[in-house]
Structure 1
Amino acid sequence: MAKCESCGTAESGYPNSHFQKAAVPAPPLPHSISTPSLVAQVMYQKFGLGLPLARQEKDWYRLGLVLSRNDMANWIIRCSQEWLEPVYWRILEKLSSCEVLHMDETRIQCNKEEGKKAGSESFMWVVRSAACEGLQAAFFYYSRNRSSKNPRYLLRDFRGYLVTDAYAGYENLDHVVRALCWSHVRRYMIESIPLDSRGREIPGSKGAEGREYINLLFKIENEIKDISFEEKKAKRQEASRPILDAFWSWVEKTAALYTPNELLTKALTYASNQKEYLETFMEDGRVPISNNLCEANIKPFTTSATLLMLFSE
């Protein structure tokens, strides 16, 4: 125990004064040189920047630290399980208490997975709180397949409105009211519009007509985005209802006409088959007209092979 030469003497009146050594912070993993900041940096470079552990190993060596890729992999796995996974499931628990959620899924590939061939399809699901919710969070969930068991499992405690695409796996969920995305309908309409040799739209197509109806709905949503939910519901009944009625009448008349345009037929069939769920947004001002908020969260998985973190059931 070290003492100050001036303060720690009998003459100073403080004979017991001494330098107290600060306790060494506990590592996130016992008997390891890991520190919270070091593990966080390894994870960030791996999942945030897409830097493989083999390259990190060389980079750390250049900085004077011998850190093997095996050690880093072990840190990532164990810290994820022991420190992050409880937080991860807590996010889903909190989301289940919301009244309006978004959900979507996208195909991914895991090249080294037991019981599956490299290149076979797996899925990443995302559950996202709606803009009306006080809690703003997104929950990602990996599964080996697209089975309806996955949304049933993830939404087992949820009661409220669920905004999705038309995938049948979201059907028959207990205590869930489905609302479908109008952006999907608009995409089908746009895909049906014929193009000339320069890739420009040929005027006067039925697909363009359908798109304009939907654009009007989105225009109204933009105009009423800052008012209360009750006012929004009333405005939708006043302004959106006539557009919806005109759109469904147009769909019915257009579907009765012969057309060689298979994409247009697909768009019309999709819209008419999903009419009930496409009108759910009219019931409550909190329900959004599209699933775009959720798709913005899942977009990185459709454009990059880098996965942030995988937890299977």
Structure 2
Amino acid sequence: YACRHCDKSSTQTQIKQASMPAMPINKGIATSSLLSQLITSKYQYGLPLYRQEAMFKQYGIELSRQTMSSWIDKSATLFAPLVERLKAELLKQPTLFADETPLKVVKSDKVNSYMWVYCSGRDSPDPNNPIPNIVLYDFHNSRAAACVVNYLDGYQGYLHVDGYQAYARTEATLIGCWAHARRKFIDAKKLQGKNKTGKADVVLSLIQKLYGVESRIKDKSVDDKYTARQEV
């Protein structure tokens, strides 16, 4: 602020300037709430930046996808300490789930890149569950075993995965995925023809019984779960 009267009368006056509030991005105009909206819209609800750009334009706001992309890139640095903390907690859990999904990247030399995902807990957060719900993604332009070996860094708990051989290179104890196994018997059942039954139906019936047991005991203790499974 400056005194207009002093300016006109040539009286010396000091200009007082308020300090800038702390911003998530240095010298940036994006507030934390705006960045949260952009990131959540893109990664939680699958709304690409070009669509968000069009939505802002409808409200008379010129905000290019290039600017938003730059903001999201800079925000990744802000999340780094949180990601490292979550990873440290993830690797403390007795059981983890892992999978890798092909991902096409624009202007990449690779036909497919991969998003490796690691998680613990249940599908939905449960305050009574001692295992926290953590989901972390690790991007690589490769499906090499080194990706999972380096990420897990000597983890020796149980690892729930499909049959991809890369997971066998880790120090974890592998747990097979019944959902993946079930798919093969579904394929075999289709080959039997309509209205016909065979060995595939027997296995599918047994798997369904396993699913039923797991559904009934999901809220029980680890010891009670073990006992119930042995009784099947």
Paired with 2:53 and 2:182, the residues of 1 have a C-alpha distance of 48
Paired with 1:26 and 1:218, the residues of 2 have a C-alpha distance of 52
Higher relative contact order (CA 8 A, sep 6+): 1
Return the offset for 1:63. Answer: 3.0
Partner of 2:120: 129
Q: Does 1:103 align with 2:98?
A: yes
Going from structure 1 to structure 2, the CA distance change for 1:136 and 1:59 (only over 3 Å counts) comes to closer
Q: Quick check: 1:166–1:180 contact (8 Å CA) kept in 2? A: yes
**Selected match of 1:154 from 131, 145, 151:** 151
The amino acid of 1:124's aligned partner reads M
Partner of 1:222: 215
SS where residue 171 of structure 1 aligns? helix
Going from structure 1 to structure 2, the CA distance change for 1:227 and 1:112 (only over 3 Å counts) comes to same
After superposition, give the CA deviation of every residue in 1:79-128 in whole Å (9 maximum; x if it has no partner): 212x1122223221210111111111111211222xx15xx111111111
Going from structure 1 to structure 2, the CA distance change for 1:221 and 1:32 (only over 3 Å counts) comes to closer
Q: Quick check: 2:154–2:170 contact (8 Å CA) kept in 1? A: no
Partner of 1:209: 202
Paired with 1:29 and 1:230, the residues of 2 have a C-alpha distance of 49
After superposition, give the CA deviation of every residue in 1:190-232 in whole Å (9 maximum; x if it has no partner): 1101368xxx743322211121122222222223333221122
Partner of 2:70: 74
Going from structure 1 to structure 2, the CA distance change for 1:144 and 1:206 (only over 3 Å counts) comes to same
Paired with 2:225 and 2:114, the residues of 1 have a C-alpha distance of 35
After TM superposition, the score normalised by the length of structure 2 is 0.79
Q: Quick check: 2:155–2:170 contact (8 Å CA) kept in 1? A: no
Paired with 2:194 and 2:18, the residues of 1 have a C-alpha distance of 72
Partner of 1:26: 22
The amino acid of 2:101's aligned partner reads T
Return the offset for 1:67. Answer: 3.0
Q: Quick check: 1:96–1:159 contact (8 Å CA) kept in 2? A: no
Q: Quick check: 2:162–2:176 contact (8 Å CA) kept in 1? A: yes
Partner of 2:182: 186
Going from structure 1 to structure 2, the CA distance change for 1:133 and 1:123 (only over 3 Å counts) comes to farther
Q: Quick check: 2:23–2:30 contact (8 Å CA) kept in 1? A: yes
Paired with 1:51 and 1:193, the residues of 2 have a C-alpha distance of 38
Going from structure 1 to structure 2, the CA distance change for 1:191 and 1:92 (only over 3 Å counts) comes to same
Return the offset for 1:55. Answer: 4.4
Return the offset for 1:64. Answer: 4.0
Matches within 5 A, 1:83-98: 83-98=78-93
After TM superposition, the score normalised by the length of structure 1 is 0.60
Paired with 2:52 and 2:222, the residues of 1 have a C-alpha distance of 50
Number of aligned residue pairs: give it: 211
Extract unaligned runs of 5+ from structure 1. 2-20, 240-313
The amino acid of 1:227's aligned partner reads K
The amino acid of 2:118's aligned partner reads V
**Selected match of 1:173 from 151, 170, 174:** 170
Q: Does 1:138 align with 2:135?
A: yes
Extract unaligned runs of 5+ from structure 2. 2-16, 123-128
The amino acid of 2:208's aligned partner reads N
Q: Does 1:65 align with 2:56?
A: no
After superposition, give the CA deviation of every residue in 1:51-79 in whole Å (9 maximum; x if it has no partner): 44344445434434343333222211112
Paired with 1:49 and 1:182, the residues of 2 have a C-alpha distance of 29
The amino acid of 1:159's aligned partner reads Q
